[in-house]
Chains A and B, each alone.
Chain A
Amino acid sequence: MALLEPRANPSRVMQWAAPLIAIVLMLLVGAVLFASLHVSPLKAFYVFFIEPLETSNGWSELVLKASPLILIAEGLALGFRARIYNIGAEGQLLMGAICASGVAIYSHGSEAGWVLPAMVIAGAIGGAIWGAIPAWLKTHFNAEETLTTLMLTYIATLFLSWLVSVPWRDPDGSNFPQSIMFGDSALFTLLFDGLRINTSVFITIAAVLIFWVFVSRSYTAFQIAVGGQAPAAARYAGFSSRKTVWLSLVISGLTAGIAGAGEVAGPVGQLTLSMSPGYGYAAIIVAWVGRLHPLGIVLSGFLMAMIYIGGDAGQVSLQLPSAITGLFQGMLLFFLLGADAFVNYRLKRRKPRAHLESHTAAAPKAAPEAAT
């Protein structure tokens, strides 16, 4: 009693319609959810998605949140294309933030111009190393990267917790688990007075362009994609799956690490236990909703940033629970995966097969069992 039958070719229309369908479904269920919380859905949508964008500060916050999400998702998408499922970007982000903070803390008081670039490089290295460990475990010991990347995220969280409560704790911070506030030389320059948006967005813009060129032009990206879609073909062609694993995990760790550096050297301004609102996990959804395409990810990154900002706004002005953000994120991915089925399958037509005989020329799709 299967309801679906495979399409002859994946539908290109559905490929891009699926995210839109998922967004519409998310909004529909969201409306029901708001109504059940005795909040008018129209008012809630206004507060969530429109009101925050009526001020320049709202736009600044939107870009500020979209930027790390896009940066991480660009790196993750590369691996996902190769079916390397790095789901520990959150840990790589934290390690990047930790390494960048180390530079800021030990150079505190220095006005030198090298501090900020050194922080970004340290963040990139920290994230890349945290991505390289699962790559090594996968290539040498065959250990699943889904589980190892996630375990390393828990370990990074505990490491961060130790750092901010013992060696790096701000002595004047009234016992809060947080580091000192960084000096100006360890912070990105603000783009506009009074807004939090800063020059780190140029890193994201550069990353999008680099990934766009890389994915569409480079032979390595082609090898990675083939390795994911047709491992046997990749082996015949002599493409190394080890190289794919290493590249995917190290690059996605690197971008997540830079994003972490951007947070501590940007809106957060210090190392704290709660410095990331789950960007590493949300970026997984961003990558998928953006169809693993460098430009699609830009759009989905802004969508996800709106969900974050809307969640904050809903909490402040409608007293909605803050967990609603996570709920929307989960729903979005669920609906997307469901809608994605229609890229490769279509609903089965309920007609006897004999009647279809005359139409087979028009629809060259041969059902697999027709061969028997």
Chain B
Amino acid sequence: MTDSFFVHLVPILIGTLGAATPLVFAGLGELVAEKTGVINLGVEGMMLIGAIAAFAAAVGTEGNLAVGLIAGAIAGAAAALPFGILTLSLGANQAASGLALTIFGLGLSAFIGQSFVSYSLSGVKPIAIPLLSKIPVLGPVFFNQDIVVYLSFVTFGLVAWTLAKTRLGLILRAVGESPEAAHAIGYPVTAIRYGAVVFGGAMAGIAGAYLSVVYTPLWVQNMTAGRGWIAVALVVFATWKPARLMLGAYLFGGVTILQLHAQGFGVAIPSQLLSALPYIATIVVLVLISRDRKLLQLNLPASLGKPFIAGG
């Protein structure tokens, strides 16, 4: 365990955080929606719509990151609305509606993106946080990142704190556990679910924006490459707990970066097999968590996936 070990390790860890950040945003958004009982399989589509909106906005403002992120968030939230109308107001099947959103998002983003394929952005420079970034290993990994990564830390803190410690969090959870009871007490179940779904959309939009404006930074058709679906799987892996979601996201970021480094080092494994690792890992992780039915049952929001239309 010498310096040369860290010389290789630190770039991998730095890359891990970058690769994990879209999963963190999209996963936290989906987690909040699922906490209120709504499973939205349209994350992939919302991410793509967010990615192209952010990219277009950033190109139009000579690479303005803030404008890109806001555009991504608004576009993602707007994309979540038709899903909300279908599932919350019209009582449509959530799985089918989410799938429709993903197919639509794929089509819409490709449609808009066709005029943006030749552009590229310069990306975003990391910001070193004074003192903290000087800590060996941890410093450069956690405190010398781009601003969106820091924003993901803050978002995690806010979501975890809101769900666990605030009245709003209690209401969100109550709606997910028993919409009938929450409705009887007088909470506007449908409105609360709309809020959670739109929040999920905005988060997915920011995740997409990070990919197209910071991470790649290009527009490529279908550039999310399944990250939206992995985010949905991560919520299950996390058993609906924000801290475990972060852990899962970093685990997946690590797998993604490791396979990239392995390809770079010329490891004698076909690059396609290495590229398949995150998807294989998703299946493995799902199996490990899902086989423990009690654990799942204990944490699963009781009304997840079930439509609720107030009778009164």
Q: Which residues of A contact B (CB under 8 A)?
A: 2-6, 85, 87, 137, 140-144, 146-148, 150-152, 154-155, 158-159, 161-162, 165-166, 281, 284-285, 288, 321-331, 333-334, 337-338, 340-341, 344-345, 367-369
Contacts and interface: CB of A to CB of B under 8 A. Distances in A.
Contacts of B99: 85, 87, 284, 333
A169 to B, nearest CB: 12
A328 B106 CA distance: 11
B309 interface: yes
Nearest to B287: A141
B299 interface: no
Interface of A is mostly: helix
B70 interface: no
A337 B293 contact: no
A137 B283 contact: yes
B249 to A, nearest CB: 16
A319 to B, nearest CB: 11
B82 A2 contact: no
B251 to A, nearest CB: 15
A151 B226 contact: yes
Interface in B7-37: none
Contact of A2 (B92, B279, B310): B310
Interface in B91-112: 91-93, 95-97, 99-101, 103-108, 110-111
A341 B287 contact: no
A325 B110 CA distance: 10
Contacts of A151: 226, 229, 233, 279-280, 282-283
Nearest to A4: B309
Contacts of A344: 91
Most chain A beta-carbon contacts within 10 A, residue among B45, B190, B229, B272: B272
B233 A147 contact: yes
Interface string B257-295: 000000000000010110110011011001100110100
8 nearest A-B pairs in the assembled complex, by CB-CB distance: A330-B104, A326-B107, A341-B90, A323-B110, A327-B107, A162-B272, A333-B100, A323-B111
B232 interface: yes
Contact of A148 (B85, B96, B190, B283): B283
Contacts of B291: 140-143
B186 interface: no
A337 B91 CA distance: 9
A4 to B, nearest CB: 6
B111 A337 contact: no
Contact of B86 (A85, A143, A337): A337
A170 B154 CA distance: 52
B41 interface: yes
5 contacts: A137-B283, A143-B283, A148-B286, A326-B106, A337-B86
A338 B290 contact: no
B130 interface: no
Most chain A beta-carbon contacts within 10 A, residue among B85, B90, B100, B279: B100
A330 B103 contact: yes
Contact of B190 (A2, A143, A330, A341): A2
Interface in B211-230: 221, 225-226, 229
A320 B192 CA distance: 40
Contacts of B41: 146
A337 B225 CA distance: 26
Contacts of B89: 2-4
Contacts of B95: 85, 146
B136 interface: no
B166 interface: no
B311 A147 contact: no
B279 A155 contact: yes
A281 B272 CA distance: 22
A322 B113 CA distance: 11
Nearest to A148: B283
B145 to A, nearest CB: 28
Contact of A166 (B190, B270, B287, B311): B270
A299 to B, nearest CB: 19
